[in-house]
Structure 1
Amino acid sequence: MSDKNGFHSGELAVQKCAGEAAIAARNISVLTDTVIAGARPFIAKQSMVVLSSIDRSGAVWASVLFGASGFLHTDTGATISIDVPLKERDPNDPLWTNIGHHTDLGMLFLELSSRRRYRVNGNVQRLDADGVEVQIREAYPNCPKYIQRRQLRKLGETRLPVSSACGTLLGGTAETIVRQADTLFVASRYADTGADASHRGGTPGFIQVVDESTLRIPDYVGNSLFNTLGNFSVDPRAGLCVIDFEHGQLLQLTGKAKVLWDQQGTADATGGTMRVWEFKVDAWILRDTPQELEWEYFDASPFNPSEKL
């Protein structure tokens, strides 16, 4: 059930708790059911897309795909094509199995070097040997806050198979990647509106490792729509993906998220919101990126709180 602005019950509840319902009602004006003309060239130039998908059991996963500029494109704004041929798909990435039986797909087009991002949710209407075509349900731009600027300097050819590992408890390399991360991608879902992909960022260490199965993430001031937290409040199943920019690895985690309000002593670490959310890890996959990637780091977001949880 959605209100007149298109918000579902979970989003409305979180907006009310945060005292930001009026701001959300104003900001939702950017929402459209197609990709606006000005955003289409932006999508076509990107070499990276973050995707949110749902597996057969209902678990949510976040994935990141890389490709040469042009592998993502939308001609009319009604659909988006992701051109990844069958031979270049990593079978260790849950994405490919997930969209074969569950059509909901969240997409986040993010240009780290300019801090621009555009968010699209939709349904897979074609999956074949050439790639994927997604029918767009909703699309909107996001603010540039908390994005660390990086430039992808080299994108190598796809090499398969790649090394991978999996587990249920965090430790070793997987834990190290989380502790050092300054960039996090989040997948969530709501049954009536589908899957959603989003971004979180902060100074290295902003993700707190509470124990071998629990992470704690600060929730900074955003656009007040609370799409991700609203989804969590209705369906706690979620996915995370962390890029190890230095070593060319992707850590994907699936589990359940819970929002914690009014956490005393966290004002500086949360940018004043005193909101955090905990993520309970059910399973993780650590794998090399199929392409050799070389990144150049520019600078951190000026909006990042300096304190950590």
Structure 2
Amino acid sequence: MNETTAFHDGERRMQVLAGETAIADRNIAGLSDSVIGGARPFIAKQSMAVLASTDARGAVWASVVFGKPGFLHTDDGHAIAIDVPYKDRDLADPLWENMAAQADLGMLFIELGSRRRYRVNGTVQRLDSLGAGVAIREAYPNCPKYIQRRHLRQIGESKLPVQAAHGTVLRGAVAEIATRADTLFVASRHDRAGADASHRGGQPGFVELVDDTTLRIPDYHGNSLFNTLGNIAADGRAGLCILDFTHGQVLQLTGTAAVLWNQDDPHGETGGTRRYWEFKVQQWILRDLPHAMEWEYLDASPFNPAVRHAEPDTGNTP
């Protein structure tokens, strides 16, 4: 971290380029080293969380874990428990090996149906057969923009072990999942600040397939903190996770990312920022979700800029 700011050099560089340092300094007031009291029951009632982790080779991964409400909880606001016993873990997800290899963990608690989200970054202090315990380093709320509302009607029984496929290029079903998505999750990291998990959303088709190893994603106006883009600027390693709500699958991708400034945007796809970021895929995993789930699509965010193609992946049961 820079000695005179709460931000690391990558974040500050992005804020300066965007001309948003004053807004960032104002918004950072919500940052805390513990989960505020009002957010603790919110975390405890969640059925899913997004986790950002790093494997032994240094690759960054985004994961989504599911469980019955209460499997995530914090008693004192200084540590979070993730109660997923060994028998209930999807070992096709790199997450569990990653937590043993690298202690930094980013966490995003997001309730799609209400557009509420709360972000926590910390360090794994316990990983055993019962679950994990994470010491909190920083915690803060995020705004509800760009979240498509979905209600999780039901989580079924475990279907472990799941089927999983692996690859390095974006073709066929893998490319389709990426390009019809309206919701994705991003993992990034910084050597000193640690891992971070974030959300990105937009109209279906907001993720563009540039070629069979490259995705381009518009970067909209946000909270001006530039946590994700700052990590990308400083480190470059990143991971994506995309839920296929219709077919009950999850696509995880790891690779590198770069920020593109002052781009041509004749259709207004960036919402006026003229900013994109490109993700270069090094490896992907496509696997079935470990539970049968029923999602009800409610509506799209009213803040989404327009795009030119694709239909929503509603996940509604026919």
The one-letter amino acid of 1:94's match is: P
- What is the Cα deviation at residue 308 of structure 1? 4.7
Alpha-carbon deviations, 1:40-70, whole Å to 9, x = none?
Answer: 0000000000000000110100000011000
The one-letter amino acid of 1:257's match is: A
Looking at structure 2, the residues matched to 277 and 83 of structure 1 have their Cα atoms a distance apart, in angstroms, of 34
Bigger Cα displacement from structure 2, 114-123 vs 266-275: 266-275
- What is the Cα deviation at residue 101 of structure 1? 1.4
Q: What is the aligned partner in structure 1 of residue 141 from structure 2?
A: 141
The one-letter amino acid of 1:96's match is: W
Give runs of aligned pairs for residues 156-167 of structure 1, distance below 5 A. Answer: 156-167=156-167
Contact 1:174 1:251 in 2 (8 A): yes
Looking at structure 2, the residues matched to 3 and 275 of structure 1 have their Cα atoms a distance apart, in angstroms, of 28
- What is the Cα deviation at residue 307 of structure 1? 2.9
- What is the Cα deviation at residue 230 of structure 1? 0.3
Q: What is the aligned partner in structure 2 of residue 11 from structure 1?
A: 11
Bigger Cα displacement from structure 2, 157-166 vs 254-263: 157-166
The one-letter amino acid of 2:246's match is: E
Looking at structure 2, the residues matched to 247 and 49 of structure 1 have their Cα atoms a distance apart, in angstroms, of 20
Q: What is the aligned partner in structure 1 of residue 235 from structure 2?
A: 235
Give runs of aligned pairs for residues 87-236 of structure 1, distance below 5 A. Answer: 87-236=87-236
Looking at structure 2, the residues matched to 36 and 78 of structure 1 have their Cα atoms a distance apart, in angstroms, of 9
Looking at structure 1, the residues matched to 266 and 12 of structure 2 have their Cα atoms a distance apart, in angstroms, of 24
Structure 2: runs of 5 or more not aligned: 310-318
Looking at structure 1, the residues matched to 144 and 88 of structure 2 have their Cα atoms a distance apart, in angstroms, of 31
Looking at structure 2, the residues matched to 116 and 106 of structure 1 have their Cα atoms a distance apart, in angstroms, of 17
Task: Give SS of 2:38's match.
Answer: helix
Looking at structure 1, the residues matched to 40 and 200 of structure 2 have their Cα atoms a distance apart, in angstroms, of 24
Q: What is the aligned partner in structure 2 of residue 71 from structure 1?
A: 71
Alpha-carbon deviations, 1:62-95, whole Å to 9, x = none?
Answer: 0000110000000000000000000111111000
User: CA-atom RMSD, angstroms?
Assistant: 1.0
The one-letter amino acid of 1:4's match is: T
Structure 1: runs of 5 or more not aligned: none
Give runs of aligned pairs for residues 245-264 of structure 1, distance below 5 A. Answer: 245-264=245-264
Contact 1:183 1:200 in 2 (8 A): yes
The one-letter amino acid of 2:11's match is: E
Q: What is the aligned partner in structure 2 of residue 277 from structure 1?
A: 277
Task: Give SS of 2:62's match.
Answer: strand
CA, structure 1 residues 60+266, in 2 after alignment: closer, same or farther (shift >3 Å)? farther
- What is the Cα deviation at residue 4 of structure 1? 3.1
Contact 1:169 1:213 in 2 (8 A): yes
- What is the Cα deviation at residue 36 of structure 1? 0.3
Identity %, equivalent residues: 66
Looking at structure 2, the residues matched to 108 and 4 of structure 1 have their Cα atoms a distance apart, in angstroms, of 27
Contact 1:90 1:290 in 2 (8 A): yes
Task: Give SS of 1:176's match.
Answer: helix
Alpha-carbon deviations, 1:85-139, whole Å to 9, x = none?
Answer: 0011111100011001110000000000000000000000000000000000000
Looking at structure 2, the residues matched to 139 and 5 of structure 1 have their Cα atoms a distance apart, in angstroms, of 17
Alpha-carbon deviations, 1:241-285, whole Å to 9, x = none?
Answer: 000001110000000000000001256100000000000000000
The one-letter amino acid of 1:137's match is: R
The one-letter amino acid of 1:121's match is: N
- What is the Cα deviation at residue 298 of structure 1? 0.2
The one-letter amino acid of 1:62's match is: A
Looking at structure 2, the residues matched to 142 and 96 of structure 1 have their Cα atoms a distance apart, in angstroms, of 26
Contact 1:271 1:305 in 2 (8 A): yes
Looking at structure 2, the residues matched to 102 and 216 of structure 1 have their Cα atoms a distance apart, in angstroms, of 28
Aligned residues: 309
Alpha-carbon deviations, 1:146-198, whole Å to 9, x = none?
Answer: 00000000101112111110100011111110111000100000010100000
Contact 1:266 1:274 in 2 (8 A): no
Contact 1:35 1:78 in 2 (8 A): yes
Bigger Cα displacement from structure 2, 36-45 vs 158-167: 158-167
Task: Give SS of 1:24's match.
Answer: helix
| TM-score, normalised by the number of residues in structure 2 | 0.96
Looking at structure 1, the residues matched to 48 and 2 of structure 2 have their Cα atoms a distance apart, in angstroms, of 31
